[in-house]
């Protein structure tokens, strides 16, 4: 089990981010816990949006509307759909996603969190971790987002009492340990007053840590730290392979292989409008001059000694987002980086409500909406895949019925069968 890393005071040690680092952060939490208001304050106080965007006064909830653009959202005062905003500092670029907290919008929540590398769990000190907060934390773990920060909101209404903060954090930390999330920091904040969002506040002398923005600056994407290079080819133009680095770091001189093909050497790395460079990192879109023949679009290139797993029997976890569920024996398509993969749901091992722990015994019957299912998929042909913590784009997928119906979102647990290793 992953243990929470929370020193006394609720703040984690800070790590220096890479230059031009991009971090995708999902903000999750119960309806009315202040998630959208917190995001609005963060954007306003960093100059990412200007005050003329405030069509409703701050005291009347105007900060929340900076991201909530739909009329229904304004009327109902909760987020219906996901919304993202970009915040840039001198050291880092953030893509911040506000995901819905309402129980009926699980699909929107899961979709909004599906590309996140870290998450902020927003908790009202008065209600702490309510049912939807627990569900969201389990969904984050399912999607492989293990590093989370807890923002305890509305501390101005608690007169900044430390005991209220600690009570909320202790509950979230215990739940994180149970689920397998790493709670790296907890920050007391007030979005309405702006305390401890971008700058420290004198109202909590008992809190020695960074404000929320400084805490995010210290987070490292879980894909960092020695992840093997994974490169997805997209096209070939003028002898150059257009590609995207899915994980790890790529350098000139690296030797890369694709399944069933000879190794190629990286002779040159280019980015549009820039001189050739020596390296490229996860998320970079690049042009490559490679030795050997051109690569077909969708090819996954990797080092020969650190290749993805390959096989036709995949063990996966899936969050069911189909209202009428799905059952064993159904045909399916896995949509993810590289090519779509066709197959069959060979076996439903067990399934359970996403707000509750997994059972220890097999569960009969079809998988229902909002349940998490442990499945064995039999692919029509062997394919490459990765654990989500090795390479998220190869470890995360959308499961469909091959037509328009989305069955769920999932991650890869294990790969075996023909050519599995």
29 CB-near residues (< 8 Å, 6+ apart): 35, 101, 121, 122, 123, 132, 133, 136
pLDDT in tens, 46-75: 876 655 555 544 554 545 555 544 333 333
The band of 178, judged by pLDDT with boundaries at 50, 70 and 90, is confident
CATH code of the domain containing 361: 2.40.30.10
DSSP assignment of 211-248, as one string?
Answer: -HHHHHHT---TTTTTPPPEEEEEEEETTEEEEEEEES
Whether residue 104 is predicted with pLDDT greater than 60 in this model: the reply is: no
- Asked if residues 37 and 67 have their Cβ atoms less than 8 Å apart, the reply is no
pLDDT in tens, 259-284: 888 899 999 999 877 788 898 888 78
Shared domain for 151 and 92, answered yes or no, is yes
Shared domain for 107 and 209, answered yes or no, is yes
- Asked if residues 314 and 377 have their Cβ atoms less than 8 Å apart, the reply is yes
Residue 220, burial from CB neighbour count under 10 angstroms (0-12, 13-18, 19+): middle
Shared domain for 379 and 297, answered yes or no, is no
Tell me the two tokens of residue 238.
Answer: 């003028």
Shared domain for 44 and 154, answered yes or no, is yes
In a domain, 6, yes or no: no
State which residues form the domain around 321: 309-416
Question: Does residue 132 or residue 367 have the better pLDDT?
Answer: 367
Domain end marker among 270, 303, 336 = 303
CATH code of the domain containing 33: 3.40.50.300
Mean pLDDT score, 332-350? 90
- Asked if residues 217 and 17 have their Cβ atoms less than 8 Å apart, the reply is yes
110 CB-near residues (< 8 Å, 6+ apart): 139, 143, 319, 321, 409
Shared domain for 115 and 43, answered yes or no, is yes
User: Pick from 194, 226, 231, 229: which is nearest to 213 by CA?
Assistant: 194
User: Pick from 375, 360, 283, 362: which is nearest to 325 by CA?
Assistant: 375
Domain end marker among 257, 278, 303 = 303
Least confident range from 142-146, 177-181, 182-186, 229-233: namely 142-146
Shared domain for 183 and 65, answered yes or no, is yes
pTM higher than 0.85 for the full model? no
The total number of structural domains that make up the chain: 3
CA quadruple 388, 390, 391, 394: dihedral, nearest 10: -60
The pLDDT value given to residue 225: 53
How far is 415 from 70, CA to CA, in rounded Å? 42
Mean pLDDT score, 232-248? 87
Shared domain for 200 and 261, answered yes or no, is no
Mean pLDDT score, 89-111? 66
How far is 277 from 316, CA to CA, in rounded Å? 38
Shared domain for 280 and 326, answered yes or no, is no
Shared domain for 263 and 281, answered yes or no, is yes
Domain end marker among 275, 303, 331 = 303
């Amino acid at each position: 089990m992953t243990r929470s890393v929370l020193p006394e005071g609720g703040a984690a040690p800070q790590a220096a981010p890479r230059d031009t680092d991009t971090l995708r952060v999902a903000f999750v939490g119960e309806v009315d816990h202040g998630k959208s208001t917190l995001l609005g304050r963060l954007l306003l106080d960093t100059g990412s949006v200007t005050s003329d965007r405030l069509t409703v006064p701050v005291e009347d909830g105007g900060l929340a509307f900076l991201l909530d653009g739909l009329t229904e959202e304004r009327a109902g005062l909760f987020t219906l759909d996901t919304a993202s905003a970009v915040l840039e500092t001198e050291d880092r670029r953030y893509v911040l996603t506000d995901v819905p907290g309402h129980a009926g919008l699980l699909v929107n929540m899961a979709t909004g969190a599906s590309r996140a590398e870290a998450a902020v769990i927003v908790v009202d000190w008065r209600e702490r971790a309510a049912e939807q907060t627990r569900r969201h934390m389990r969904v984050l773990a399912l999607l492989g987002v293990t590093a989370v920060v807890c923002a305890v909101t509305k501390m101005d209404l608690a007169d900044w009492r430390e005991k209220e903060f600690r009570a909320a954090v202790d509950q979230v930390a215990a739940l994180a340990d149970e689920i397998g999330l790493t709670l790296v920091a907890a920050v007391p904040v007030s979005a309405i007053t702006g305390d401890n969002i971008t700058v420290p506040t004198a109202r909590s002398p008992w809190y020695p840590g960074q404000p929320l923005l400084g805490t995010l600056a210290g987070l490292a994407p879980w894909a960092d730290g020695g992840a093997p290079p994974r490169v997805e080819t997209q096209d070939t133009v003028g002898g150059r392979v257009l590609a995207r680095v899915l994980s790890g770091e790529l350098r000139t001189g690296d030797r890369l292989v694709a399944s069933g093909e000879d190794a190629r050497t990286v002779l040159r790395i280019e980015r549009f409008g820039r001189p050739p460079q020596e390296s490229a990192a996860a998320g970079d879109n690049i042009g490559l001059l490679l030795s050997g023949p051109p690569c077909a679009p969708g090819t996954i290139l990797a080092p020969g000694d650190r290749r993805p797993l390959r096989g036709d029997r995949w063990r996966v976890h899936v969050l069911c987002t189909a209202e009428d569920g799905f059952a064993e024996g159904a045909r399916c398509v896995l949509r993810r980086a590289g090519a779509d993969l066709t197959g069959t749901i060979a076996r439903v091992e067990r399934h359970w409500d996403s707000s509750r722990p997994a059972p220890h015994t097999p569960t009969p019957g079809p998988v229902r909406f909002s349940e998490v299912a442990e499945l064995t998929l039999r692919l029509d042909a062997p394919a490459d895949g990765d654990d989500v913590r090795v390479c998220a784009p190869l470890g995360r997928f959308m499961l469909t019925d091959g037509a328009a119906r989305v069955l769920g979102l999932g991650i890869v647990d294990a790969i075996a069968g023909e050519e599995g290793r």
